[in-house]
Amino acid sequence: MPESWLKGLLLFDRIWIPTGYDPIPFDKSEVGFYDYQLDSEVMVRALAQRQNDLRMMGRDREDIDWPNVDAQKTMNELAMQGLRRSIRYVAELYSNKGYNVTPVYEIPDQFEAEFAPGVQIAYEASFREISNVCPEHLTVKQVFDFRRDAEAVKQYRSFHLWLRDGLKAESVVHATDIISNKLECYEWAIKKHGLKTITGALSSVIDSKAIIAIASSAGMTALLSGPVWAALTGGLLAGARSLVWIAERQIDLEDTKRGQNSEVALFYAMKRSFPT
């Protein structure tokens, strides 16, 4: 079972588990879902897409100079490419039906590979040098104990909405208080359950339409002139422990119906030389 699934279960009530990953060490009906569990049309279209992915994988294999590559590594890479395409495709299908589905990527390179540069605007909000739960040290018992703690779940997950809530601030002090409080509560939830962490970064890519709606303005102008940006650039949050920044990026993103959080994706990077 991919270690990132356990970390995903800290962030979300449900995660998408593709077929072929049995046995899973938890009740799939409680914490995961298959295509058919929410919508039969999604199942049919996802299976058709998977068949197409397999055909593409076959064509890719024909183009490889096998005597000069690591065969096992190459096959694994091709399989992961197909799986990631399936995940994004299923996420888009569910988003079109109003379900809030957010893909989570273990490294930024995976996100970059799937969201090619395009013409649609999104914003990347990132915390650097923060405590990040290390999936390799998570156990199923830890995850389920955590999920049963409603307050810890609330505080841990609320941190990922720091930019959205910060944009609602009426002053620099208000923005600083909102974001600092979210970070403190996030770290409290991790420490309460003894989750092992590694210093790293956590980034959210957010639909520009959501930013505009929250800030009641247009694009980056709302950020550059608002209290949350002043809190960041004024050094009130960007201390030695946590570096934060917001950047505009152009991505190839279909105009799909997003859930209430309007997150396009989450991804994280860890510095494994700094365990905490």
Confidence of residue 115 (pLDDT cuts 50, 70, 90): confident
Cα–Cα distance for residue pair 210/106, rounded to 1 Å: 24
% of the chain residues with pLDDT over 90: 11
Cα–Cα distance for residue pair 80/265, rounded to 1 Å: 18
Confidence of residue 219 (pLDDT cuts 50, 70, 90): very low
Higher-confidence residue of 190 and 130: namely: 190
Higher-confidence residue of 27 and 205: namely: 205
Cα–Cα distance for residue pair 162/181, rounded to 1 Å: 9
Of 114-128, 166-180, 212-226, the range with the lowest mean pLDDT is: 212-226
Q: Cβ–Cβ contacts within 10 Å for residue 225, how many? A: 11
Token pair belonging to 12: 């979300």
What is the arithmetic mean of pLDDT over 116-132?
A: 81
Confidence of residue 257 (pLDDT cuts 50, 70, 90): very low
List strand residue ranges (DSSP E) for the chain, in order: 15-16, 32-33, 104-105, 120-133, 197-207, 243-251, 263-275
3-state secondary structure of 114: helix
Give the global pTM.
Answer: 0.75
Per-residue pLDDT for 206 more than 80? yes
| Distant-in-sequence, close-in-space partners of 256: CB < 8 Å, separation ≥ 6 | 92, 95, 96
Under a CB-based contact definition with an 8 Å cutoff, are residues 100 and 259 in contact? yes
Q: For the chain, what is the mean pLDDT?
A: 75
Cα–Cα distance for residue pair 232/179, rounded to 1 Å: 10
Higher-confidence residue of 158 and 229: namely: 158
pLDDT given at position 262? 67
pLDDT given at position 240? 41
Confidence of residue 28 (pLDDT cuts 50, 70, 90): low
% of the chain residues with pLDDT over 70: 68
Per-residue pLDDT for 94 more than 50? yes
Q: Which residue has the tokens 């295509």?
A: 35
pLDDT given at position 273? 40
Calculate the CA dihedral of residues 182, 186, 187, 190 and round it to 10 degrees.
170
Burial class of residue 170 in the structure, from the number of CB atoms within 10 Å of its CB (0-12 exposed, 13-18 middle, 19+ buried): exposed
Per-residue pLDDT for 76 more than 80? no
Nearest to 114 by CA among 256, 260, 273, 254: 254
